[in-house]
Amino acid sequence: MRLLPKITLLACMIIGTFSCSDDDDMSSNPPSQNAPDLVEAAQNAGLTTLLDAVGAVDGLDQTLLNAEAITVFAPTNDAFQDALTAFDANNLNELVENIGGVDNLEVVLGFHVVPAVAFSADLAEGEQNFNTLSGQELTVTKNGTSVTVTDSNGSIYNVTNPDVEIENGVVHVIDGVLLPDLPDTIVDLAVSNNNLSSLVAALEYTGLDDTLADRSAEFTVFAPTNDAFSTFLDGAALEDLPVEVVTQVLLNHVVIGTNLSTDLETSYINSLATFNDTDNNLSLYINIDNGVTLNGISSVTAPDNEASNGVVHIVDQVIELPTVVSFATADPNFSNLVAALTDPGQADENYVDVLSTPVDDSPAPFTVFAPTDQAFVDLLAELGVNSISDIDANTLTAALNTHVIAGANVRSTDLSDGSVSTLGADLNVDAANAVLTDPNDRQSNIIAFDVQAANGVIHAIDTVLLP
Question: What is the mean pLDDT of the segment spanning 153-180?
Answer: 97
23 has a pLDDT exceeding 50:
no
In the sheet that holds 146-150, the strands lie side by side as 113-114, 70-75, 169-174, 156-166, 146-150, 137-143, 126-131
pLDDT tens column, 368-399: 999 999 999 999 999 999 999 999 999 999 99
Do 349 and 439 lie in a common domain? Answer: yes
Examine the domain organization and report whether 366 and 413 are in the same domain. yes
Are 230 and 198 in contact, with CB atoms under 8 Å apart?
yes
Residue 467 lies in a domain: no
Decide if pLDDT at 444 tops 80. Answer: yes
Taking the whole predicted model, whether its pTM rises above 0.85 is answered as no
Does residue 157 form part of some domain?
A: yes
Residues 226, 112 share a domain = no
Task: Report pLDDT for 15.
Answer: 37
Q: How far apart are CA 95 and CA 87, in angstroms?
A: 6
Give me the percent of the chain exceeding a pLDDT of 70.
Answer: 93
Domain that holds residue 164: 4-174
Query: Does residue 27 register a pLDDT over 80?
Result: no
Picking from 120, 141, 174, the residue at the C-terminal end of a domain is 174
Do residue 317 and residue 331 come from a single domain?
A: no
Same-domain check for residues 40 and 164? yes
Residue 446 belongs to a domain: yes
| CATH code (residue 212) | 2.30.180.10
pLDDT at 13: 40
Indicate if 98 and 143 belong to the same structural domain: yes
Strand order, beta sheet including 310-315? 254-256, 219-224, 310-315, 298-307, 293-294, 281-287, 267-274
Residue 180 resides in a domain:
no
- Provide mean pLDDT across the span 303-319: 97
Q: Is residue 93 part of a domain?
A: yes
Same domain for 163 and 88: yes
Look at residue 18 and tell me whether its pLDDT is greater than 80.
no
Name the domain count of the chain.
Answer: 3
Does 148 lie in the same domain as 195? no
Task: Tell whether 27 and 82 lie within a shared domain.
Answer: yes
